[in-house]
Amino acid sequence: MTPVAKRAGEEIDFEAAARECRPFLLQIAVASTRNPSDAEDVVQEALLRGYRGMKGFRGDCPLRIWLSRIVVRVAINHHRSVARRLKRWVFFGDMEFPSDDGTIHEYDPPDPLREFDRERMLDVRKHVKRLPDEFRLPLMMLAVDGMTVPEIAAVLEIPEGTVKSRIFYARKRLNATLRTKKRR
């Protein structure tokens, strides 16, 4: 993926850029939002806001990082919105529904030989979702394809050292939670 950077006097084809960035932005959205079924909506909303706010893009960072910042903000607001939460309660937005061919799309491990403990994974997922946003976001973003600590720092607009310490804190906390549970 080539970063789309704005150069002096260069017009950006936003549609093409958005199409190119979309898979990456979806990953950022999945890492940022607590409800993955909202990720598509979050990306859509972020792209709309990005398109409207293109004038504010100074070109000092790759466009995908700039858009990622919007995605993170939208994702956090999306979750906080009381209306969304109510809607989720009422319409069971958290549920997974079978697709048209009747199969339920679940996470399918890429390597069937790899040991995959689904229950353990869901347990970890539950605890990851419980982490505060500032620790959860860097930890999840590290799992995004090709994301590095400097990039996370750029997206979250915090120093690299802070990203590292937050990731460490998140790991430690998660480890402690899982170990306590194991001991029980």
Partner 1 sequence: MNVDCHWIEENLERLAFEDDRLAQGHLAVCAHCREQIESLRAIDPMVKQVFEYDLAIARSPKRRRSPVLIGAFGTAIAAALLLIVAQVRQPASTPGTPAPPAMTSKIPAPEPATSPKIQNPGAVTGRAKPEATVPDRPSSVPREARQADRQAPEFLVTDLAGYSRTLNDYRGYVLIFGVWDSKDPQTAANLERVYKSVSANTKIRVLGISEDREVKPANTTFPSAVNQGSQLLGGKAGDIVVVDANGTIAFRGSLRDESSRLLRSVQSALTALGIQK
Chain residues in the site for partner 1 (CB under 8 A):
26-27, 29-31, 36-37, 39-40, 91-93, 95-100, 105-110, 116, 120-121, 124-125, 128, 139-140, 142-144, 164-165, 168, 171-172, 174-175, 178-179
- Which of residues 67 and 174 has its CB atom nearest to partner 1 in the complex? 174
Rounded CA separation 183/181 (Å): 5
CB of 65 to partner 1, least distance (A): 19
CB of 90 to partner 1, least distance (A): 9
Structure tokens at 25: 């932005």
Rounded CA separation 121/25 (Å): 24
CB of 140 to partner 1, least distance (A): 6
Rounded CA separation 9/26 (Å): 29
Rounded CA separation 62/39 (Å): 21
Look at residue 110 and give its three-state secondary structure: coil
- Which of residues 70 and 131 has its CB atom nearest to partner 1 in the complex? 131
CB of 110 to partner 1, least distance (A): 8
- Which of residues 5 and 178 has its CB atom nearest to partner 1 in the complex? 178
CB of 5 to partner 1, least distance (A): 26
| CA dihedral (112, 115, 117, 123) positive or negative | negative
Rounded CA separation 166/137 (Å): 9
Rounded CA separation 182/162 (Å): 30
- Which of residues 57 and 169 has its CB atom nearest to partner 1 in the complex? 169
- Which of residues 110 and 112 has its CB atom nearest to partner 1 in the complex? 110
